[in-house]
Amino acid sequence: MLERFIENHQFNYIREQVETIRDSRKKSLPSSVLQAVIDLANAKIAFLFPEATSAQLAMLDVSKLQTDEAYDGFIDELRPHVRSFPQVSEQQVKKMFPKQKKLRLPDAAELNVNRMSYMSWNDLRSNRKYILCEKNHQLIGIELKASSNAKKNICAFCNQLAEVSYCVTITKAKQAKNPDYYKAIGTYICTDSASCNENMTNLDALMTFVETALKE
Ligand SMILES: [Zn+2]
């Protein structure tokens, strides 16, 4: 049976390491330096998978690869092992956002669930953006107000220079002395969540943002 043991962001991270090796090979470095680059990349990848079986570690081993074809083949072989984003039902989403009576899920055909650390879609009529992600195998979600004018900036989630919108959400945190106080937090997030998901190499910024928004 095909084991899907790689998370989307881990797959992106591995690909980034492979690109580092590929670039280093082109630089005609002394062989000991090149070997150090390869060993470091291999160690960084293995570090992501502390519970990997020996067969899985063999699959993740980049040290034997020599050619461009071998690098491409390596990445292609890992791709089917990336875990899919869980199926999300209309009912689950309605429960998460009870105030949004007319909320529609994105068209499943437009989502690449095999390349997703978070699911996001925009409601253009209301300039709202929705984000779903998983925490301890549970789906959590937040609703954001997105600025309508996109611009180039660094996305907080994937850390790439991209077309982003400034997105603001109201946290649930309340001040004891002032029950009417609502705190807003905002950040730049890629307008195109598919490319954001292709570039995320860790979940830190995404999880911090969503968890801060949901913290009571
Ligand atoms: Zn992004």
Asked whether residue 174 carries a pLDDT value surpassing 80, the answer given is no
Dist. CA 35 → ligand 1 center (Å): 32
Q: Token pair for residue 4?
A: 């899907």
Dist. CA 20 → ligand 1 center (Å): 21
**Residues 147, 128: Cα–Cα separation, whole Å:** 9
CATH architecture, range 8-81: Up-down Bundle (1.20)
Mean local confidence (pLDDT), 39-52:
97
115-124 b/e (C-beta count within 10 Å ≥ 16 → b): bbbbbbbbbe
Q: Token pair for residue 89?
A: 């039902």
Dist. CA 122 → ligand 1 center (Å): 15
Provide the mean pLDDT of the chain: 92
7-19 residue pLDDT tens:
999 999 999 999 9
Dist. CA 203 → ligand 1 center (Å): 11
The CATH 1.20.1280 portion of the chain extends over 8-81
Q: Is 177 left (phi over 0), alpha (psi -120 to 50) or beta?
A: alpha
145-184 b/e (C-beta count within 10 Å ≥ 16 → b): bbbeebeeeebbbbeeebebbbbebeeeeeeeeeeeeeee
Dist. CA 89 → ligand 1 center (Å): 25
Dist. CA 185 → ligand 1 center (Å): 17
Return the C-alpha torsion angle 17, 20, 25, 29, nearest 10. -120
Dist. CA 166 → ligand 1 center (Å): 12
Asked whether residue 131 carries a pLDDT value surpassing 70, the answer given is yes
Dist. CA 64 → ligand 1 center (Å): 32
* Biggest alpha carbon–alpha carbon distance for the chain: 65
Q: Token pair for residue 166?
A: 């400034």
Dist. CA 160 → ligand 1 center (Å): 6
**Residues 199, 15: Cα–Cα separation, whole Å:** 10
Dist. CA 1 → ligand 1 center (Å): 33
Asked whether residue 105 carries a pLDDT value surpassing 90, the answer given is no
Dist. CA 111 → ligand 1 center (Å): 16
**Residues 83, 11: Cα–Cα separation, whole Å:** 10
Q: What is the CA radius of gyration of the chain?
A: 20
**Residues 144, 131: Cα–Cα separation, whole Å:** 8
CB 45 within 8 A of CB 60: yes
Angle at 202 between CA 76 and CA 122, to 5 degrees: 90
Dist. CA 54 → ligand 1 center (Å): 33
**Residues 158, 198: Cα–Cα separation, whole Å:** 8
68-87 residue pLDDT tens:
999 999 999 999 999 999 99
